[in-house]
Structure 1
């Protein structure tokens, strides 16, 4: 199980064939890599499932291969298209690929062993990140100078930098703390999947999501994809273009779980700092398990913020898919309600 969705297996994948299974989306949320937080956000799981399904169906219309097989409404005998679901679904049927163990010693990971076990059917152990803007606080500002990513600035400006062309980066997926990679190392970790093909796929996904978001007056700021490799083909996996995987804004206001990150930074700085210190300590000691070094736990959210977060997810999904899946206020009103948090 991931921090926000459960994983069901109906048919195990084999070295020569994909299996079958499903994601079951919960109402849990996670920030700062913590995992399950103290609260649940009602309808969040159905929101992510609906947006993810909608985007997979858009991608398939554009000829982009994915692992998506449909949504599974409650009581349904099998997967159907999102349009055929009478209520917001929480289960998504998918093809399954192999995910071998990734051996490690401290913070050293054995990707050669991973690929030796994977063969020609595996989940690529990378996240492919695309950025349409570089906001204040972006990790990119800490890792690179503007010139390093083709920008004509002597230093990073104070405001958001809107990019003429998206920036694509690669980070690790299965390491205890995500680590951004030079292209050469990303190509090695990707195995038989070529990083140029992964980048091209990410750019196409970004285009589709960005264009769709614009129809709902949303600005698509950044996001990521995960991919599987099978028989020489790369397919989009996991979930695409949701308010957890991607960052969207509506007239400058965050419409994603980013506003929850920022809320914790403002109201629980001791916990946020303890998380950062634990990660740094684990890195300096060569340890993978940073969370055991953190001696501060996050506090629950106030009830009114949980309600506002629910409405933001629900209203944003309604606007994005152009359908009243949820009983929710307008996106404009939902955004206004969270602005003061």
Structure 2
């Protein structure tokens, strides 16, 4: 289901009822939609699970419905809340979740058949969209390549070489299950959402964004942008997948990135030939109506130096400690981890 976490099904969902399963977070990482990269980042899986569970509990406390049920430790069957797990000196890697239906999305004659997806899904399904929210436009944001500053009420002719804060958050809709993510206008997003309300999806995304903003401020972090995924069941929208981690969202500290964006930008600087090859393969696949763009890519990523892997590990762990307000991981202070990342 995803390249950096494993997916387990305990009770399958039906047309009417939610099932139960879990995400098992690995130390793998992915950039530029490549899938599993040659290296692993130690403790990354535990970091994402801890931060994701913390945020789901925060959303539930603020009456935002989610698919989160708890965490498991050491392969035990017992489902715990995050505080219980951490009090036992365990950083969880398994998150227990409610499951919905995820039908196949056919690719026929160069196009994805969303009508077939919804015919199979009925009224209990994962909405095949990512709902993206942006509070800031950092360097590296795709918004810079797709829009101009004036589209967002900014008195700028071109995007500057530094991050730009937005007066009000921007919400966008992107595809979820296509081989290449693509941004959609509201009409296309509404069609792909099926019976789920695009207006309601946007409202939930803004509520989640506001809650994450507040938590980030307590840790002296800036929450720049992120996304949610949602399931639709019995007429209600629940936040699904994982929320507000350093893989799903961009955070910064004192102007420096605290997110997967650090590794993305490092690859751009040190492996530009591979990054360019990925871009060319995606463009060729779009032009030729081919779903599997990787089959057209004539290059592969190289492993990272051990020093870079250690810096990335410390950034994930120090950032998680700061965000949840607890020394969950043995890691440097956040300022020290950010300084090391800035030197890459």
TM-score normalised by the chain length of structure 2: 0.97
Give 1:106 shift. Answer: 4.8
Per the alignment, residue 14 of structure 1 pairs with: 14
1:119 to 2:100 alignment: no
Match of 1:270 among 266, 269, 273: 273
Of stretches 102-111 and 44-53 in structure 1, the one that deviates more from structure 2 is: 102-111
Kindly state the Cα deviation for residue 145 of structure 1 after the two structures are TM-superposed. Answer: 2.2
Q: Which moved more, 1:13-22 or 1:324-333?
A: 324-333
Match of 1:315 in 2: 318
RMSD of aligned alpha carbons: 1.0
1:228 corresponds in structure 2 to 231
Q: Secondary structure at the match of 2:330?
A: coil
Cα distance in 2 for partners of 1:229, 1:133 equals 29
Distance 2:276 2:240 in 1: 33
Partner of 2:106: 103
* 8 A contact 1:106–1:287 mirrored in 2: no
Q: State the secondary structure of the residue aligned to 2:196.
A: coil
Tell me the matched-pair count.
341
**Aligned match of 1:128:** 131
Q: Which residue of 2 aligns with 1:4?
A: 4
Q: Which of 137, 140, 153 does residue 140 from structure 2 map onto?
A: 137
| Structure 2 residue matching 1:175: 3-state secondary structure | coil
Q: CA deviation at 1:79?
A: 1.2
Gap regions ≥5 residues in structure 1: none
Q: What is the deviation of 1:207?
A: 0.6
Correspondence 1:55-74 to 2 at 5 A: 55-74=55-74
| 2:163 matched residue in structure 1 | 160
Q: Alignment partner for residue 211 of structure 1, among 211, 214, 219?
A: 214
Contact 1:24 1:91 in 2 (8 A): yes
What is the distance in 1 between the residues matched to 2:243 and 2:261?
Answer: 16
Match of 1:329, SS state, is coil
Shift of 1:153: 3.1
The SS at the match of 1:168 is strand
- Distance in 1, Cα, partners of 2:5 & 2:80: 20
Structure 2 spans left out of the alignment, 5+ residues = none
SS in 2 for 1:130: strand
